[in-house]
């Protein structure tokens, strides 16, 4: 390399991320996916649901009027966060679940399914599994207090993470609640012991359940669930068979203050959040398995081997436990919220800038060459807060499901309920990887 080239390379590096990420628009590298063609900008993503505002359905008109009067429903308070989809194995109609946590008062229920009923603000949502599970607003800890995210596994079970708090008042212990989606019955509940969370500090926002004995041969019993607690800056491991849980909190689970300002489409908000995104590398790739994770307020993508994570003995030394087992995969130069990994080992995340879905092959170095934009849309993809990969039973194809919620407008108080603010979208995973964008 000549001296001139070296200086140029250095200048490009220093000017990152804005310049380098901008280059993705012009000159996407062709090395990652042989069939890759850069998608034309602003290609319409296939929107499955959209809302001006979340449209709650109630058991009766009297109930709606009563909760509006007593403050337990304030239409300007709820924000949707997550989406997950269940395809019944017998070919029945898919069911779509959304969450709207109780950030504040005024959220009538925080886990819902989307109905076909169209109302003024969009598709009506109904409480899941029932209105009664939510209506005590923290008084009944056998119900659900506040759900941020859920995870539907390959066995038709929905893992629900209930933070147990409303506006940092810990009404109930955080809990993991599992429903069988074929029967809508409660099949499992685990209340976190006090050693696994910090009351008034913790806020559990994400769950990934790793089924180690999946169908068709497995029994769906050998499970470790990983829980993200960004405000106490920890990951909690829940050993379902062993009925125990432990916290992982160290320098790798902390936010990086340099990424504390989160800017989306010209509006910014401040957060100092720890772990948010969680996904495990798939079974069957022949590689040592890892949890891949990152903090919202950080550019680092990190991994920890599951065999280390899943052994409580490795975590008895607090901050200094097992530090040498953490792997820094690479840096993004920008924040992205939740992520998902396909069964063939491709990672997806919604970047804050440029606003779009980026992909990475987990077998390659995590760097600017290999982390590529797959679908960009500065309007519909503003803050992708929920992201799941769902396998369609009919043909075995994988779909990437997203929920975008323009979180920056909520922080800034600039949300305009005359516009579409919340969207649920579906992309074809193979199509994205082949450079066809999202059809
Ligand atoms: C639609 O949302 C607006 C803004 O929050 C609210 O004032 C209105 O009552 C909602 N409409 C219905 C039918 O819920
Ligand atoms: C857990 O890790 C400890 C050492 O950290 C080791 O002695 C023990 O055998 C491990 N347990 C299992 C079940 O692998």
Q: Per-residue pLDDT for the chain (439 aa), expressed as one digit of tens each?
A: 445 444 444 443 443 433 333 333 323 333 344 444 444 444 445 899 999 999 999 999 999 999 999 999 999 999 999 999 999 988 899 999 999 999 999 999 999 999 999 999 999 999 999 999 999 999 999 999 999 999 999 999 999 999 999 988 999 999 999 999 999 999 999 999 999 999 889 999 999 999 999 999 999 999 999 999 999 999 999 999 999 999 999 999 999 999 999 999 999 999 999 999 999 999 999 999 999 999 999 999 999 999 999 999 999 999 999 999 999 999 999 999 999 999 999 999 999 999 999 999 999 999 999 999 999 999 999 999 999 999 999 899 999 999 999 999 999 999 999 999 999 999 999 999 999 888 5
Q: Do residues 177 and 144 make contact, with C-beta atoms less than 8 angstroms apart?
A: yes
Residue 112 burial class via C-beta count within 10 angstroms: exposed 0-12, middle 13-18, buried 19 and up = buried
Task: Give the mutation target among 244, 246, 313 for probing the ligand 2 site: most ligand atoms within 8 A of CB.
Answer: 313
- The residue contributing the CA closest to ligand 1 atom 6 is 75
- The residue contributing the CA closest to ligand 1 atom 4 is 417
Q: How far is the CA of 242 from the centre of ligand 2 (A)?
A: 14
State how far the Cα of 253 lies from the Cα of 273, in Å rounded to an integer.
9
Q: Do residues 41 and 22 make contact, with C-beta atoms less than 8 angstroms apart?
A: no
Instruction: Answer whether 119 contacts ligand 1 (Cβ < 6 A).
Output: yes
Instruction: Answer whether 404 contacts ligand 1 (Cβ < 6 A).
Output: no
Instruction: Answer whether 61 contacts ligand 1 (Cβ < 6 A).
Output: no
Tell me the DSSP string of 302-333: EEEEHHHHT-GGGGTTGGGTTGGG-EEEEE-S
Q: How far is the CA of 142 from the centre of ligand 1 (A)?
A: 30
What does the block give as tokens for 20? 């380098």
Pairing of strands 122-127, 55-56: parallel
Q: In this structure, how many other beta carbons lie within 10 angstroms of the beta carbon of residue 282?
A: 17
Ligand number with the minimum distance to the CA of 306: 2
- The residue contributing the CA closest to ligand 2 atom 10 is 311
The pTM of the full predicted model, rounded to 2 decimals, is: 0.90
Q: How far is the CA of 243 from the centre of ligand 2 (A)?
A: 17
Q: How far is the CA of 115 from the centre of ligand 1 (A)?
A: 17
Write out the CATH class of domain 3-15+17-433. Answer: mainly beta
Instruction: Answer whether 417 contacts ligand 1 (Cβ < 6 A).
Output: yes
User: Sign of the CA dihedral 394, 286, 83, 161?
Assistant: positive
- The residue contributing the CA closest to ligand 1 atom 13 is 120
Domain borders along the chain are 3-15+17-433
């Amino acid at each position: 390399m000549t001296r001139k080239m070296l200086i140029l390379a250095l200048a490009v590096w220093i000017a990152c991320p804005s310049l380098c990420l901008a280059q993705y628009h012009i000159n996407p590298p062709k090395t990652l996916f042989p069939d890759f063609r850069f998608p034309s900008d602003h290609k319409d993503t296939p929107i499955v649901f959209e809302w001006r505002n979340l449209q709650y359905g109630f058991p009766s008109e009297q109930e709606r009027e009563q909760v509006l009067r007593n403050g337990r429903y304030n239409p300007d308070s709820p924000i949707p966060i997550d989406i997950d989809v269940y395809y019944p194995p017998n070919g029945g109609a898919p069911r779509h679940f959304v969450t709207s946590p109780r950030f504040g008062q005024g959220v009538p229920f925080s886990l819902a399914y989307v109905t076909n009923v169209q109302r003024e603000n969009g598709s009506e949502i109904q409480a899941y599994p029932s209105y009664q599970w939510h209506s005590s607003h923290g008084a009944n800890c056998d119900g659900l207090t506040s759900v941020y995210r859920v995870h539907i596994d390959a066995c038709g079970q929905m893992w629900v993470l209930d933070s147990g708090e409303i506006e940092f008042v810990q009404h109930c212990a955080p809990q993991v609640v599992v429903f069988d989606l074929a029967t809508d019955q409660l099949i499992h509940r685990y209340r976190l012991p006090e050693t696994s969370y910090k009351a008034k500090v913790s806020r559990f926002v994400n769950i990934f359940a790793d089924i180690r004995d999946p169908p068709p041969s497995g029994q769906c019993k050998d499970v470790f669930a990983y829980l993200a607690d960004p405000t106490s800056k920890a990951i909690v491991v829940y050993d379902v068979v062993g009925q125990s849980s432990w916290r992982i909190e160290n320098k790798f689970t902390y936010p990086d203050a340099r990424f504390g300002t989160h800017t989306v489409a010209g509006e910014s908000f401040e957060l100092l959040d720890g772990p948010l995104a969680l996904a495990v590398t798939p079974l069957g790739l022949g590689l040592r398995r890892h949890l891949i994770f990152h903090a919202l307020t950080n550019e680092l993508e990190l991994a920890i081997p599951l065999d280390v994570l899943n052994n409580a003995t490795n975590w008895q030394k607090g901050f200094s436990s097992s530090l040498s087992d953490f792997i820094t995969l690479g840096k993004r130069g920008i924040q992205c919220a939740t992520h998902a990994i396909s069964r063939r080992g491709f990672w997806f995340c919604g970047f804050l800038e440029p606003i779009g879905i980026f992909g990475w092959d987990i077998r390659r170095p995590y760097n600017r060459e290999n982390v590529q934009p797959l679908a960009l849309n500065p309007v519909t993809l503003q803050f992708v807060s929920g992201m799941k990969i769902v396998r369609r039973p009919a043909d075995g194809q994988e779909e990437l499901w997203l929920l975008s919620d323009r979180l920056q407008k909520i922080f800034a108080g600039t949300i305009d309920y005359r516009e579409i603010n919340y969207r649920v979208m579906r992309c074809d995973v193979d199509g994205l990887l082949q450079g066809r964008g999202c059809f």
